[in-house]
């Protein structure tokens, strides 16, 4: 029954009962009103208001839960739904809201997939241009400087060697940036070698790796997501956590979230100061978007002074699809 009719019939019932009692009972309303008559009227009115309040509170409680969920919903944390309780238009509203969330999550996933695919293509293009254009140009400059250094007077050789070192450092930096933009080792040697190489790229941070050699087959997209999230996690540790040590672990998870076929778990933890409940930045939200791209679950646990732990659980099937 719709909430409108519940309230209507309750009020109608209370009115009929009051009318019948006045018709067959000893109660009357005099002018001026007597004390006993006033007590009866106040009691009847109070009873009607209490019944209406109880009905409306019970009937509108699902709307309160819906309002709370609408104020806190985050499409980067999918699966948040309300149980369809109540009846009539309230149950229909909750069911419609749940369906809307499902559509928004699906559309967000498709949009993220297109955006991240375009982002990877752009990274690949920029990395290729850095390697082919700027890298080769700097290499040519280095050769020219070396030739000039061999021919220059002794008084200029020290300055030319300094210029040569600066140019060589610039070339190394360009190669490092190109490597971060496009992890060629991931495509050429696979995920394990790419992660092993990644752990050696952070100066001042000791990264211990624990890589399970018995991983199930993963799709190229899943391997790229795992690598990018590991890269972003370690970059955050090196830049913001103040940590001196970190652990990168990749292991087989026989039952991630109850998914058939098992899966793979990536875990990155450090001994830094933790996030302290800070608002998630663009880097973490980017990791959540990448996790959604392959239907993986991403959790971040951090306590002040106890470091941060990033966990990515990737579901796989026997065919290796993620």
What tens digit of pLDDT does each residue of 256-280 get? Answer: 554 445 789 999 999 888 776 666 7
**Token pair 């608002």 in the structure block, residue:** 279
Residue 11 CB neighbour total at 10 angstroms? 14
Q: What is the mean pLDDT of residues 41-67?
A: 76
Q: Within this chain, do residues 216 and 281 fall inside the same structural domain, yes or no?
A: yes
Range of the domain at 239: 189-315
> What is the CB-side half-sphere exposure of residue 322 using CA atoms within 13 A?
28
Domain boundary among 134, 160, 181: 181
| Distance set, CA 144 to CA 159, 293, 295 (Å) | 14, 47, 52
pLDDT (0 to 100) of residue 276: 63
Do the domain assignments include residue 172?
A: yes
Do the domain assignments include residue 153?
A: yes
Least confident range from 45-59, 192-206, 233-247, 301-315: namely 45-59
Q: Within this chain, do residues 197 and 290 fall inside the same structural domain, yes or no?
A: yes
Do the domain assignments include residue 321?
A: no
Q: Within this chain, do residues 169 and 256 fall inside the same structural domain, yes or no?
A: no
Q: 27 φ, ψ to 5°?
A: -85, 140
| Distance set, CA 61 to CA 4, 66, 90 (Å) | 15, 9, 10
Which sign does the torsion angle of CA 313, 315, 321, 322 carry?
Answer: negative
Q: Within this chain, do residues 11 and 92 fall inside the same structural domain, yes or no?
A: yes
Whether 207 shows a pLDDT value over 80: the answer reads: yes
Q: Within this chain, do residues 264 and 240 fall inside the same structural domain, yes or no?
A: yes
Whether 290 shows a pLDDT value over 70: the answer reads: yes
Q: What is the mean pLDDT of residues 69-98?
A: 74
Q: Within this chain, do residues 244 and 273 fall inside the same structural domain, yes or no?
A: yes
Element spanning 300, H or E: strand 297-302
Confidence of residue 22 (pLDDT cuts 50, 70, 90): low
Which sign does the torsion angle of CA 229, 231, 234, 239 carry?
Answer: negative
Confidence of residue 23 (pLDDT cuts 50, 70, 90): low
Do the domain assignments include residue 7?
A: yes
pLDDT tens figures, 223-241: 888 998 998 999 888 888 8
Q: Within this chain, do residues 15 and 94 fall inside the same structural domain, yes or no?
A: yes
Q: Within this chain, do residues 212 and 138 fall inside the same structural domain, yes or no?
A: no
- Nearest C-alpha neighbor of 240 from the set 274, 206, 215, 263: 274
- Which is more confidently placed, 241 or 24? 241
Q: What is the mean pLDDT of residues 119-138?
A: 80
Domain boundary among 65, 84, 105: 105
Q: Within this chain, do residues 170 and 216 fall inside the same structural domain, yes or no?
A: no
pLDDT (0 to 100) of residue 317: 58
Q: How far apart are alpha carbons 73 and 81 in whole angstroms? A: 9
DSSP class of residue 280?
P
- Which is more confidently placed, 242 or 23? 242
Q: How far apart are alpha carbons 269 and 245 in whole angstroms? A: 9
Residue 239 CB neighbour total at 10 angstroms? 11
Do the domain assignments include residue 16?
A: yes
Q: Within this chain, do residues 227 and 266 fall inside the same structural domain, yes or no?
A: yes
Do the domain assignments include residue 142?
A: yes
Domain boundary among 73, 105, 137: 105
Q: Within this chain, do residues 237 and 305 fall inside the same structural domain, yes or no?
A: yes
Q: Within this chain, do residues 207 and 265 fall inside the same structural domain, yes or no?
A: yes
| Distance set, CA 302 to CA 66, 76, 277, 286 (Å) | 29, 19, 8, 18
Q: How far apart are alpha carbons 185 and 200 in whole angstroms? A: 13
252 DSSP β-pair partners: 264
pLDDT (0 to 100) of residue 319: 41
The total number of structural domains that make up the chain = 3
Q: How far apart are alpha carbons 319 and 322 in whole angstroms? A: 9
pLDDT (0 to 100) of residue 322: 39
Give the SS3 label for residue 32.
coil
Report the mean per-residue pLDDT for the chain: 79
Do the domain assignments include residue 45?
A: yes
Residue 27 CB neighbour total at 10 angstroms? 14
Q: 269 φ, ψ to 5°?
A: -135, 155
Bridge-based pairing state of the strands 263-270 and 245-253: antiparallel
Residue 255 CB neighbour total at 10 angstroms? 11
Q: Is the pTM of this model over 0.75?
A: no
pLDDT (0 to 100) of residue 259: 44
Do the domain assignments include residue 112?
A: no
pLDDT (0 to 100) of residue 24: 74
């Amino acid at each position: 029954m719709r909430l409108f009719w519940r309230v209507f019939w309750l009020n109608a019932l209370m009115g009929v009962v009051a009318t019948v009692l006045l018709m067959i009972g000893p109660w009357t309303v005099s002018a001026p009103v007597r004390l006993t008559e006033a007590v009866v009227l106040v009691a009847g009115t109070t009873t009607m208001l209490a019944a209406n309040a109880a009905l409306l509170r019970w009937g509108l409680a699902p709307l309160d839960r819906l309002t709370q969920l609408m104020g806190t919903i985050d499409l980067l944390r999918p699966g948040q739904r309300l149980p369809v309780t109540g009846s009539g238009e309230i149950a229909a509203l909750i069911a419609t809201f749940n369906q809307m969330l499902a559509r928004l999550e699906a559309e967000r996933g498709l949009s993220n997939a297109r955006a991240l695919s375009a982002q990877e293509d752009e990274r690949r293009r920029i990395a290729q241009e850095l390697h082919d254009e700027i890298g080769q140009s700097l290499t040519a400059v280095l050769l020219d400087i070396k030739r000039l250094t061999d021919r220059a007077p002794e008084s200029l050789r020290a300055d030319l060697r300094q210029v040569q070192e600066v140019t060589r450092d610039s070339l190394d930096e360009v190669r490092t940036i190109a490597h971060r933009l496009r992890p060629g080792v991931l495509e050429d040697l696979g995920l394990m070698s790419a992660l092993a190489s990644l752990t050696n790229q952070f100066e001042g941070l000791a990264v211990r790796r624990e890589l399970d050699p018995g991983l199930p087959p993963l799709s190229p997209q899943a391997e790229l997501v795992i690598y990018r999230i590991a890269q972003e996690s370690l970059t955050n540790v090196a830049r913001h956590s103040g940590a001196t040590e970190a652990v990168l672990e990749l292991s087989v998870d026989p039952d991630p979230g109850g998914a058939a076929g098992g899966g793979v778990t990536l875990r990155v933890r450090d001994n830094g100061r933790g996030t302290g409940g800070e608002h998630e930045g663009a880097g973490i939200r980017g990791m959540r978007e990448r996790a959604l791209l392959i239907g993986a679950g991403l959790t971040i646990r951090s306590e002040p002074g106890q470091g941060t732990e990033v966990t990515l659980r990737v579901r796989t099937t026997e065919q290796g699809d993620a």
